[in-house]
Chains A and B, each alone.
Chain A
Amino acid sequence: MAMKEMTEPGAIMRSELGRVRGLGTARSGAGHWWAQRLTAAALVPLAVWFVLSLLAHLGANGVAMAHWAGRPWNSVLLLALLIALFRHLALGLQVVIEDYVHDEGAKLVGVSVMKGVLVLLWLAAVVAVLKLAFAA
């Protein structure tokens, strides 16, 4: 397998024989499938870290919480969590919409609106973390 294909997520999961015979995904399904798994694997340690961090700060006031979020490694891990989580969520909700909405137009609108809303929420959360990181 060529190096270029190794670095492209999804390409790894399609065999060359399958591609030549025209088997498997019609469009970008392999990339979607692979990204869903990759973000899931990234979320395993990130979710554990986040939940344990919250437990360790139960009852903490806003100043202490903001200080915690603004520490360099905590900001980095929060941003990593937001990237993996929103990507995973967008891929998951896309599958749910595609499974239950059968009209092609409504499906396109539904997936696009969902992704647009998620991008706005993601940007808001990222800006908040950056603000905390640079304020500290």
Chain B
Amino acid sequence: MQDVREALMAGRASDGKAVRRPLSPHLQVYRPQISSTLSILHRITGVGLGVGTLLLVWWLVALAGGAAAFAGVQWFVSSWVGLILLFGWTVALLFHFCNGIRHLAWDMGYGFEKQAYHASGWTVVAVSVAASLVIWAVGLAVW
């Protein structure tokens, strides 16, 4: 069965010919905006953190499995690939964390004015990037 929403797609071109109306917005020609960009980034980082959960499970299972198992996970996270992935997950976690708090504020009815959500959006970007760099600077100094 055809989707009932197809009825909304019926339209006419300027010469009167029946056409299927284009979907809007056209992602290919749409100028990226802070609102839409952070929205899709929230989803992408969420899925990325889901993949990162595999490392969390591996780490806990190895910790319970004894010295040899833990040495395996330690080897992985201190390898170049492991460090790059860990840095990516740090940025993803901090962004998803900060933007998630922004979402919770919206759910309570705050911050819907254009100026407010532009300001909160850029704040989320600045805080998550700065906090990632601080955590890694401290981490590498201690490690």
The size class of the interface chain B forms with chain A is 20 to 34
For A62, the chain B residues whose CB sits under 8 A away are 63, 66-67, 70-71, 74
Binds B, one of A4-12, A24-32, A128-136: A128-136
Chain B residues within 8 Å of A131, by CB: 64
Q: Render A36-50 as a binary contact track against B, CB cut-off 8 A, 1 for contact.
A: 010011011001000
Total A residues in contact with B, Cβ cutoff 8 Å: 31
Contacts of A128 in B (CB 8 A): 57, 60-61, 63-65
Number of A-B contacts (CB under 8 A): 77
Q: Is the interface of B mostly helix, strand, loop or mixed?
A: helix
Asked if A121 and B57 sit within 8 Å, CB to CB, the answer is yes
- Provide 9 A-B residue pairs closer than 8 Å at the C-beta atoms, listed in order of the A residue: A37-B107, A51-B135, A55-B138, A62-B67, A62-B74, A69-B63, A86-B53, A89-B50, A96-B46
User: Which residues on A are within 8 Å of B, measured CB to CB?
Assistant: 37, 40-41, 43-44, 47, 51, 55, 58-59, 62-63, 65-66, 69, 78, 85-86, 89, 92-93, 96, 121, 124-125, 127-129, 131-132, 135
Ranked 3 nearest A-B pairs via Cβ:
A62-B70, A128-B64, A128-B60
Enumerate chain B interface residues (CB-CB to A < 8 A). 43, 46-47, 49-50, 53-54, 56-57, 60-61, 63-67, 70-71, 74, 93, 97, 100-101, 103-104, 107, 135, 138-139, 142-143
